[in-house]
Structure 1
Amino acid sequence: MPTDPLAWETDDRRVAYSCPGFDIVNESVRLPDGTETDFDYLTEPASVCILPFTPDGDVVCIEEWRQAVSRVSHGLPVGGVEPDDDDLEAAARRELAEETGYEADDLEPLVTVEPANGIADTLMHFFVAEGCRPTADQRLDHNESIRPTTRSLEALIDAVADGEILDGRTVLAVSYYQLCGGSGSEE
Structure 2
Amino acid sequence: MPTDPLAWETRERRVAYSCPGFDVINESVRLPDGTETEFDYLSEPASVCVLPFTPEGDVVCIEEWRQAVSRISHGLPVGGVEPEDDDLEASARRELAEETGHEAERLEPLTTVEPANGIADAVLHFFVAEGCRPTAEQRLDHNESIRVTERSLKELTDAVADGEIRDGRTVLALSYYRLFDEGSGPDGK
Paired residue for 1:170? 170
Query: Which structure 2 residues correspond to residues 109-128 of structure 1 after superposition, within 5 A?
Result: 109-128=109-128
| Counterpart residue identity of residue 53, structure 1 | F
1-structure distance, mates of 2:53, 2:117? 29
Task: Give the structure-1-normalised TM-score.
Answer: 0.98
1:81 counterpart residue number: 81
1:20 aligned partner = 20
Return the alpha-carbon distance in structure 2 between the equivalents of residues 127 and 161 of structure 1: 21
Partner SS for 2:181: coil
**Counterparts of 1:27-46 in structure 2 under 5 Å?**
27-46=27-46
1:175 positional shift: 0.2
| Structure 2 portions without partners, runs of 5+ | none
Who is 2:56 aligned against?
A: 56
Q: Take 2:187 and 2:45, find their aligned partners in 1: how far apart are those partners?
A: 31
Q: How big is each residue's C-alpha offset from its partner over 1:67-97, in whole Å with a ceiling of 9 and x where there is no partner?
A: 0000000000000000000000000000000
Report if aligned partners of 1:12, 1:29 keep a CA contact under 8 Å in 2. Answer: yes
**More helix by proportion, 1 or 2?**
2
Letter in 1 for 2:162: D
Q: Using structure 2 for the length normalisation, give the TM-score.
A: 0.97
How many residues are treated as equivalent by the alignment?
187
8 Å CA contact 1:106–1:131 kept in 2: the answer is yes
Distance in 1 between the 2:121 and 2:31 partners? 19
State the Cα RMSD in Å.
1.0
Q: Distance in 1 between matches of 2:126 and 2:9?
A: 32
Distance between the aligned counterparts of 1:151 and 1:67, measured in 2? 24
Residue ranges of structure 1 left out of the alignment (5+ in a row): none
* SS state at 1:180 partner: helix
The aligned amino acid for 2:105 is: D
Amino-acid identity (%): 81
Partner deviation per Cα, 1:118-170 (whole Å, 9 max, x = no partner):
00000000000000000000000000000010000000001011111000000
- Residue 118 of structure 1 aligns with an amino acid whose one-letter code is G
